[in-house]
Amino acid sequence: MLYSISKHVNQIQRVLINHFVKIQRHSKHYNNFGAKKPNTKPSHENTKKTTQNRRQKRPTPFVAAVKEIRDPDEAASLFHEYYQMGYKHDYPSFSSLIYKLAKSRNFEAVENLLGHLQNLNIPCKETLFCALFQHYGKAHLIEKAIELFHKIPSFNCVRTVQSLNSVLNVLVDNNRFSDAKEIFHKSAEMGFRPNEVTFNVMIKGFLKRAEFTEACNLFDEMLDRNVEPSVVTYNSFIGFLCRKGDVEEAKSLVEDMAKKGKYPTAVTYALLMEGFCSLGEYKEAKKLMFDMEYKGCKTKVINFGVLMSYLGKGGQIEEAKSLLSEMKKRRFKPDVVIYNILLNYLCKESRVGEAYKVLIEMQVKGCEPNAATYRMMVDGFCMVGDFEGALKVLNVMLTSRHCPKLETFCRLVTGLLACGDIDGACFVLEEMEKRKMSFDLEAWGALIRDACVGVDTCELLTQLILVNSD
């Protein structure tokens, strides 16, 4: 039941509509690399004045100044301000702003800056384009990544096998293997000599598609071209065999690689351990940790992670906690991945209170939570209906410069409205607005239906659609 919702209907409508309007305006605005006027919010004015005072006291290069700014739009405005003051932007200036804009997925502004780099014929570093491939990949803008790869020489930049490997990896990870094969087969024409990383990426692609024979053929081609396989190459095959349940064959491959002077690493054994765990042979997997040490390979945190994941998946939370204690006794320092595994399964079991204690413990032990840590905790609190607790974690998360997923925001807003916390819901919507995040039409409809009981939701949706069309 909603708590005193009738008193806040108009406020909810106003907040939802204003949020929708501002998000739509943001999405339609073209950021001309800083030509946009600075935001007029008081907090921005204070930041701007601080920046101006700093420049008056001691001239600060743009690159140093932009690192202190969180908001990409503000960084773009500062870029333009420096230009108007006569500051001649060089490659470090352009690249630092491009990195910040790409991270916020403002690719329109990124491409605008790239155009200026081309026109000015400023020499660029290949690392910039490799980073952009990654950002395009995360945003699923694969065509843009391919296009940029082919345009690298036009940026006064020498294109090497590094950018080839980077774009191939993005294509493989985004299930565009046909495009990856096309570029790989034309690599010689483009002046590239594929190295072990190139072959490893392509082998990964074949195995991802369960094309084992083709992967083996590429392995043979690798040898024919006198490119020596690495441990990573063998690990790809070992991991594939283990996922298929053929652990004995994977073990044979480990022995073969050792004979050829490629010694298994902790990752190799972790793959074997995952294979045993997938067959339900936990004891064999744990025994492998002692075997690897006997053979001269030190156990790493990743090996404990495999065992903990198996226990958590099977609902054996207490055993997983015991494994964490065992790690500490053996003087292994748990990393954020280990803590996240435990947090994940505690939250799935609705043991959010215990998960929160683990979160505090990891911070006390000097292990910094990452975005996944906070997301799991916010989702966990939402799942048990503790939206106040979720909001507290969200505050810490945002302060740490991490951001929840869109569905988490939607769940939290709905829950806060349902329990009558209008201010909390407004705060979350404002934080979404700052990050230019918005729900799609279906999510808006669900949110309004859930939050605005007793309100003509059709009328409210109509208002939102009309606003969007203006």
Residue that is last in its domain, among 122, 156, 176? 122
Whole-angstrom distance, CA of residue 346 vs CA of residue 252: 37
Residue that is last in its domain, among 87, 102, 122? 122
Q: What are 275-303's pLDDT values in tens digits?
A: 999 999 999 999 999 899 998 899 999 99
Whole-angstrom distance, CA of residue 379 vs CA of residue 372: 10
Residue 79 domain boundaries: 60-122
What is the pTM for the complete model shown?
A: 0.78
Which residue pairs from 342-347 have beta carbons closer than 8 angstroms and sit at least 24 positions apart in sequence? 342/308, 342/312, 343/373, 343/376, 343/377, 343/380, 344/312, 344/376, 345/312, 345/313, 345/315, 345/317, 345/320, 346/317, 346/380, 347/376, 347/377, 347/379, 347/380, 347/383
Percent of the chain with pLDDT over 90: 61
Does residue 405 fall inside a structural domain? yes
Buried b (16+ CB within 10 A) or exposed e, 398-435: beeebbbeeebbbbbbbbbbbbbbbebbbbbbebbbbb
Whole-angstrom distance, CA of residue 413 vs CA of residue 432: 10
How is residue 175 written in tokens?
Answer: 């299930």
Does residue 326 fall inside a structural domain? no
Does residue 411 fall inside a structural domain? yes
Of 32-41, 47-56, 182-191, give the range with the top mean pLDDT: 182-191
Residue that is last in its domain, among 122, 155, 171? 122
Residue 456 has pLDDT above 80, yes or no: no
Angle, CA of 239, 244 and 249, to the nearest 5°: 70
**Confidence label for 458 from pLDDT (cuts 50, 70 and 90):** low
Angle, CA of 23, 26 and 30, to the nearest 5°: 160
Of 17 and 76, the structure prediction assigns the larger pLDDT to 76
Task: Of 88-97, 170-179, 196-205, 224-233, give the lowest mean pLDDT range.
Answer: 88-97
Do 465 and 409 reside in the same domain of the chain? yes
How is residue 400 written in tokens?
Answer: 């740490």
**For the chain, what is the domain count?**
2
